[in-house]
Amino acid sequence: MFLLPLILGIGIGFGLAYAMVGFLAVKSNDIGNSKGDFQDFADNTVHIKVAENNVSGGNFYDL
């Protein structure tokens, strides 16, 4: 009965450790990973001319 918590515990422990060390390794060794975003290339927001919620998903609407 003790075997199940042992196996799960090791799995969870080392899984979380692997995830945390991976995150820290990227933070430590990978510099400037990001690309430019929307605000860098557009002065205004996207102008939404038509916004309809809860429409039927099956039809393709023509302009």
Partner 1 sequence: MICKCPNCGEALSYNIDEQLLLCPACDSNFNPNDAVDEETISEYETMQCDIYSCTTCGAEIAVNDVEAATFCAYCGQPTIIFNRVASQKKPEFIIPFSITREQAEEAIRNHLRRGFFVDGGVKNFQTERICGIYVPFWLYDVFYSSNQVLRGTIKHGKYRQTHYYRRISECTFNKVTVDASRRLQDESSQRLEPFDTTALKPFEAGYLSGFYADCYDSTSQDKKFFAVYKVKELFNQEVIKSVPADNVKITQDNPTHEILSETYAMLPVWFLSFIHEDKGYTIMVNGQTGKTVGAVPYVKFKIKAAIMILGTLLSGLAIKFLESDLYSHPKDFRESLFIYIVLIFISFSYGAKQFKKLKKSIGLTTAESINKFAKERQDG
Token look-up 């302009």 returns 63
Tell me how far apart the alpha carbons of residues 24 and 18 are, in angstroms, rounded to a whole number: 10
Quote the least distance from Cβ 6 to partner 1, whole Å. 6
Tell me how far apart the alpha carbons of residues 10 and 2 are, in angstroms, rounded to a whole number: 12
Quote the least distance from Cβ 1 to partner 1, whole Å. 7
Quote the least distance from Cβ 7 to partner 1, whole Å. 9
Residues in contact with partner 1 by CB under 8 A are 1-2, 4-6, 8-26, 28-38, 40-57, 60-63
Amino acid at position 15, single letter: G
